[in-house]
Amino acid sequence: MFLADEKRYDKMIYNRCGKSGLKLPAVSLGFWQNFGNKGSLANMEEMVHTAFNLGITHFDLANNYGGYDGSAERNFGAILDGMRHYRDEMCISTKAGYDMWPGPYGDKNGSRKYLTASLDQSLKRMKLDYVDIFYHHVYDPNTPLEETALALDNAVKQGKALYVGISNYNSEKTTEMINIFKELHTPFVLNQPSYAMLNRWIERDGLDKLAIEKGFGLAVFSPLYQGLLTNKYLGGIPEDSRVGRGETWIGNEIDEKMLTKLNKLNEVAQARGQKLSQLALSWVLNNKAVTTVLIGASRPSQIVENVASIEKLDFTAEEIQKIEDILAL
């Protein structure tokens, strides 16, 4: 049985999800990569234990993480078996929306049929009575927003979720959903978009401003831009990297201009006493609309390194301007 560090809450920062009563750690652990059947369960367990001991209470999953068999959720359920006595100290989220099983009821959509069935499957895989947050994973133009909103609201009314969220929704569709949730009195707390120094679409779209205005949080994924904002690519593409193995599209963006940009950002990081990855996480958290950054990891040491980013969240005006100048190159 896992026994957690008694000092696990001493250093972590907890931010409120907009105007709701729910708080999340500034850094959360995402299960998008490295928690499926291809990985070592022992390593996964060590990563979850390491995260929890560092004050990470939020674990973010989805029905399709690890593949169509839901292996990330199933593996997380196995890990939970040794630490279910800490369930009430955890905020567990899952999502549904992308293609998941054969036929018209399991493809990429936002129907009540799909969302209801998927949540039931997720709960069984993780051996949970409820999740803390249930998201619709991606906007579906072929399903009325009212139907998707009602499905999420129904999950709360059935006691299968405490809060609801949406993911990959722009500001226009988020506003429409907020209006429906308001009528239903649904506890909507989060939108989960991608956001990084090299991916600032939420600023152009106005989603971050909307979050502050309407009182919901942002749980942002890919804050390291598929690993590009790490020391790994400063000298080019290593063979043992995700780009080197052909596991991500981000390799298409690595050219001399990008390498120059990354190395200049690394100089800023070094001047602050940080690694490039830590600078990138601190920068994302500097946006007041961001509640938490979702990190991925392949080993426990990466989690330790990324959590250290919260130790230096403040930026001088000069640092912000220097970063802006570099990103504009």
DSSP track, 19-70 = TSS-EEESEEEE-SSS-STTS-HHHHHHHHHHHHHTT--EEE--TTTTSTT-
CATH label of the domain that carries residue 213: 3.20.20.100
Q: What is the mean pLDDT of the chain?
A: 95
Instruction: Please report, to the nearest 10 degrees, the dihedral formed by the alpha carbons of residues 46, 47, 52, 53 taken in order.
Output: 60
Residue 142, domain extent? 14-231+278-314
**pLDDT confidence band for 242 (50 / 70 / 90):** low
Residue 273 lies in a domain: no
Residue 282 identity: S
Q: Is 24 left (phi over 0), alpha (psi -120 to 50) or beta?
A: beta
Residue 233: the pLDDT is: 81
Residue 252: the pLDDT is: 72
Residue 39 lies in a domain: yes
The bridge status of strand 27-30 relative to strand 58-60 is: parallel
Residue 255: the pLDDT is: 85
Question: Taking 70 as the threshold, does the pLDDT of residue 66 lie above it?
Answer: yes
Question: Taking 80 as the threshold, does the pLDDT of residue 248 lie above it?
Answer: no
Residue 177: the pLDDT is: 98
Burial class (CB in 10 A: 0-12, 13-18, 19+), 301: exposed
**pLDDT above 70 coverage of the chain, percent:** 95
Residue 89 lies in a domain: yes
Residue 147 lies in a domain: yes
Residue 240: the pLDDT is: 59
CB of 170 closer than 8 Å to CB of 203: no
Residue 1 lies in a domain: no
Question: Taking 60 as the threshold, does the pLDDT of residue 244 lie above it?
Answer: no
Residue 264 lies in a domain: no
Query: Number of structural domains, the chain?
Result: 1
Residue 6 lies in a domain: no
Residue 164: the pLDDT is: 98
Burial class (CB in 10 A: 0-12, 13-18, 19+), 236: exposed
Lowest mean pLDDT among 130-134, 242-246, 309-313: 242-246
Residue 5 lies in a domain: no
